Amino acid sequence: MAILWFVAFLCFIFLWQWIWNKQSPFKNWPVFGMLPRLLQNAPNVHDHATRFLLDNGGTFEFKGPWFTNMNFVLTCDPTNIHHILSRNFSNYEKGPKFREIFEPVGDGIFTSDSDSWRYQRKLIQSMIKNKKFELFLEKVSRGKVESGLIPILDHVSSNGIEVDLQDVFQRYTFDNVCFMVLGFDPNCLSIDFPQVAHAKAFDQMEKSVFYRHIVPESFWKLQRWLQIGEEKKLSNACKIFDQFVYQCISSKHEELSRSRTLKVEEAKFDLLTACIEQEAEGGEMDGFTKSNKFLRDMVFSLIAAGRDTISSGLTWFLWLVATHPSVEAKIIKEMREHLLVNSEINWGIDEVSKLVYLHGAICESLRLFPPIPFEHLCAIGSDILPSSHRIIPSRRILCSLYSMGRMESLWGEDCLEFKPERWISEQGRIVQVPSYKFIAFNAGPRTCLGKDMSFTQMKIVASTIIWNYRLQLVEVHPILPSLSVVLHMKHGLKVKITKRDL
């Protein structure tokens, strides 16, 4: 009799689930929850999540398999996001689960909370606001364009060959950020497109961290314990990248020790030098010491921020410009008006800051294709969101930045169009949009410290390419987002390049 009752109970559950699932594209199966549908739609997860969020008022509770810790709340509702990232900021942190998933990143600013996060943010802010570093940033950005980017594009153009611009940008930004953070140029950006072990290791670490997001925790932990599959690849990649970073840290200590002074010239004031200089001047601050492990974790966070967000932003931006000739023409017209002096173009920081239309076009690209498509947080205590969804302690929250850029309620019926004009006022100035609405650089206390640096570098690279070259997209080449914590193009951006006659 007990067996009959149990079978009847299971039949009831399946019948109830079947009725509920007929009305929902995100099926919640017994035992497996909504994971099967998530895996089924993983290749197109961003657009699938967007459609589902828009059909469900902007917020949805995802149910993972039974007896797993995969339940989370997904939202693109700007009132919820404003509440989580600003108004009730103290109740939401990265949390231990986030740090466990992002274990390869270490305890840098992206994974830390509370006092550690505040200390690192204060430290990094003081370094990037240093006038020496601002001068160094301009020198490195322009220097790498002139010595690396332009020679490669000239070579590709003169030989009439196809090139993957995403690969070019990733090489450019990796060289750039390594030089600005470590004072070391790995020279990934050269005509022979060398395979650089630590750069490839960095890519693998990103892929493996995303993998941890879409499979049950017990599965990837088992792989980690057995050292098989994706976790073995991750372990090998971490060893390669850590060896590179620790070698750079050791070399920097030796370099500064030999110089017998920490007063570094403006010509080379990388962030690692700045951090060590502060350590020498102030010693220990707020109970945190700058051990090699601390420096490694800080370096990793800064390289991730400076490499991937800018390369992703540039890739999607140049694709959008290449497919919208009228936008390209307006950018060239603006450059001719503001940068052209005596038949010469000046790409200095002050000069590119005058390019309002280019700035609006970059904002529009970041709205549609934010480099970080999801913001991942965890609730400390109970809460009720403005959407009336109840949040229990330790509940994970995913804010979909990608979906926010596709909301008619925020951006109008033309929200899917690439329209830089929406960012420019009648007076010809940039329209100031609240950060919880345009969240490409995060919002609230965690707003990106490198926002201005990112815009500067993107403007220098984008304006250089648009002014000097025409981009022709390779026909039938698919343009799709990749499965990664960063919104790269899955198959790259294949183009042919020709010199522009102006």
pLDDT tens digits along 476-489: 889 988 877 889 99
Average pLDDT rounded to a whole number, residues 201-223: 86
At 61, is the pLDDT very low, low, confident or very high (cuts 50, 70, 90)? confident
Q: At a CB cut-off of 8 Å and minimum separation 6, what does 98 contact?
A: 111, 376, 377, 378, 396
Distance in angstroms (rounded) separating the CA atoms of residues 321 and 311: 15
Task: Specify burial of residue 228 (Cβ count, 10 A radius: 0-12, 13-18, 19+).
Answer: exposed
- What band does 135 get if pLDDT is binned at 50, 70 and 90? confident
Stated pTM of the model: 0.87
Q: What pLDDT score does 5 carry? A: 42
Tens-digit pLDDT profile for residues 280-337: 665 554 445 567 888 888 888 888 888 888 999 999 999 999 999 999 999 999 999 8
Looking at 1.10.630.10, 2.30.40.10, 3.40.50.720, 3.40.50.300, the CATH number of the domain 41-52+95-157+165-499 comes to: 1.10.630.10
What DSSP string runs through 270-283? -HHHHHHHHHHHH-
**Above 60 in pLDDT, residue 260?**
no
Q: Give the H/E segment covering residue 376.
A: strand 374-379
Q: Pick the residue with more confidence: 422 or 28?
A: 422
Sign of CA dihedral 484, 37, 64, 89: positive
Residue 139: pLDDT band (50, 70, 90) is confident
Residue 67 pLDDT: 61
Indicate the pairing of strand 374-379 with strand 92-93: antiparallel
d(C-alpha 397, C-alpha 256), whole Å: 44
CA distance 117 to 97: 16
Q: Which residue has the tokens 């670490």?
A: 205
Predicted pLDDT at 190:
87
Q: Where are the domains of the chain?
A: 1-40, 41-52+95-157+165-499
C-alpha 70: how far from its chain's center? Answer: 23
Q: What's the rounded mean pLDDT across residues 207-233?
A: 89
Q: What is the mean pLDDT of residues 114-136?
A: 84
Confidence at residue 31, expressed as pLDDT on a 0 to 100 scale? 53
Region 243-248: mean pLDDT is 91
Which pLDDT band holds residue 6 (cuts at 50, 70, 90)?
very low
Q: What is the mean pLDDT of residues 402-419?
A: 94
Give pLDDT, residue 120: 87
Cα distance between residue 205 and residue 238, in whole Å: 7
Mean pLDDT of 115-143: 84
Are 334 and 356 a contacting pair, CB within 8 Å?
yes
All residues at 6 or more sequence positions from 312 whose CB lies less than 8 Å from its CB, including other chains:
369, 371, 486, 487, 488
Q: Report the pLDDT value the prediction gives residue 318, as an integer from 0 to 100.
A: 97
Considering 20-34, 297-311, 334-348, the range whose residues carry the highest mean pLDDT is 297-311
Question: Percent of the chain having pLDDT more than 70?
Answer: 85
Asked whether the predicted pLDDT for residue 2 surpasses 60, the reply is: no
Is 188 annotated as belonging to a binding site?
Answer: no
- Answer for the pair 367, 417: CB distance below 8 angstroms, yes or no: no
Q: Is residue 85 within 8 Å of 234, Cβ to Cβ? A: no
Distance from C-alpha of 266 to C-alpha of 60, rounded to nearest angstrom: 51
What per-residue confidence (pLDDT) applies to 288? 54
Q: Is the pLDDT of residue 55 over 60?
A: yes
CB 451 within 8 A of CB 97: no
| Cα-based distances in Å from 240 to 104, 150, 179, 245 | 12, 30, 19, 9
Can you tell me the mean pLDDT for 204-215?
84
The listed range with the strongest mean pLDDT (36-40, 242-246, 313-317) is: 313-317
Section 96-107 average pLDDT: 87
Residue 357 CA to residue 361 CA, distance in Å, equals 6
| Lateral strand order in the sheet of 396-400 | 59-62, 72-75, 396-400, 374-379, 92-93
Q: What average pLDDT does the chain have?
A: 84
